[in-house]
Copies of this chain bind each other. A is one copy, B any other.
Amino acid sequence: MTNKPEILVIGLGLIGASFAKAVRKSANAYVLGFDVEKEVPPVALEMGLIDEVVDDLTQVRQVDVIIMAVPVMAIGKVVEQIRYLIPGLTVLSDVGSVKGEVVKSVQDVLGELPSCFVPGHPIAGAEKSGVTAATDDLFKNHMHILTPLPESTDQAVTLLTELWSGCGAQVVTMTVERHDEVLAATSHLPHLLAFSLVDTLARESENREIFKYAAGGFRDFSRIAASDPTMWHDIFLTNRDATLKILRRFQSDLGLLEQAIEHRDGDLLRTVFTRAKSARDYFTEILESRNKEG
């Protein structure tokens, strides 16, 4: 690898295009960009997010790093197309929300896990999507979780850490299994609850008249129910076990609150609400201290 790393970003949606823009600046990288939607890479080139358009994944010259910024369920197909490049890579990584499924897809296609492969997941997003929403500060002050495998080289982990840190992210590592549990709890379950609640209320009320009376709390609570249904369909199918585990714990805890309301057990309600408020206030402190550091 020369001093100017060559990086191929596959998938120029919000995450891929923002990473391209940020890493091009921070690592002085030469960035090649591909997308299944053929009109997207020229837009990225025009916007100054990438240096070169890739038209055909099966005809790319050797690069140093490949980041697969595609839906989790598309990883297998991408790996099939770029397998000829893998022996020459320093790093192969991705940005998917479910790491177990990504690892399984790579293993299924290649029959082994290459030593350049280090799965990753930026805990960042925005309400807008697509290449035109790309911004080079999307990852600033956000976590980037790496899940190195037993096969991964130290060199791959180190380079990937440098690249994402350079984009402003706080890089942490954990196992694939822990990642999928943590995300099931902090992201996948809240999305499921928001989708479910909004659907219950919409069906409860003729002409959705009930939403007219909803206030700010409901607005904040339900915002994530506007997320992409296909992406979330994929996430729940691929992170099935970890989601079911935390969902069932939640259902059991919610059942205790239901019983407390039914039996007018004010002490239990107050205890749970107070404990939750304390935890939420702690979470607010974490967010505020992270923003101050930035």
| A interface residues, Cβ below 8 angstroms from B | 123-125, 142-143, 145, 172, 182-183, 185-187, 189-205, 208, 210-230, 232-233, 236-237, 240, 243-244, 246-251, 253-255, 257-258, 261-262, 264, 266, 269-270, 272-284, 286-287
Contacts and interface: CB of A to CB of B under 8 A. Distances in A.
Contacts of A249: 200, 204
B213 A201 contact: no
A182 B212 CA distance: 10
Nearest to A271: B229
A266 B236 CA distance: 9
Given A192-B257, A210-B182, A264-B240, A217 B125 contact: yes
9 contacts: A182-B210, A196-B254, A202-B275, A202-B279, A208-B279, A220-B220, A220-B221, A232-B273, A251-B254
Contacts of A194: 221, 276
Contacts of A183: 213
B273 A261 contact: no
Contacts of A214: 123, 186-187, 283
Stoichiometry, copies per complex: 2
A198 B279 contact: yes
A222 B190 contact: yes
Given A143-B215, A186-B201, A202-B276, 9 more contacts: A183-B213, A186-B215, A192-B254, A192-B257, A195-B277, A200-B249, A202-B278, A208-B282, A220-B224
Nearest to A232: B273
B198 A218 contact: no
A178 to B, nearest CB: 10
A100 B71 CA distance: 49
B236 A247 contact: no
Ranked 5 nearest A-B pairs via Cβ: A229-B273, A202-B279, A186-B214, A199-B276, A198-B276
A246 B196 CA distance: 12
A154 to B, nearest CB: 24
Given A193-B254, A270-B229, A279-B198, A246 B204 contact: yes
A253 B189 CA distance: 14
A183 B274 CA distance: 22
A259 to B, nearest CB: 10
Given A185-B210, A201-B186, A272-B199, A124 B261 contact: no
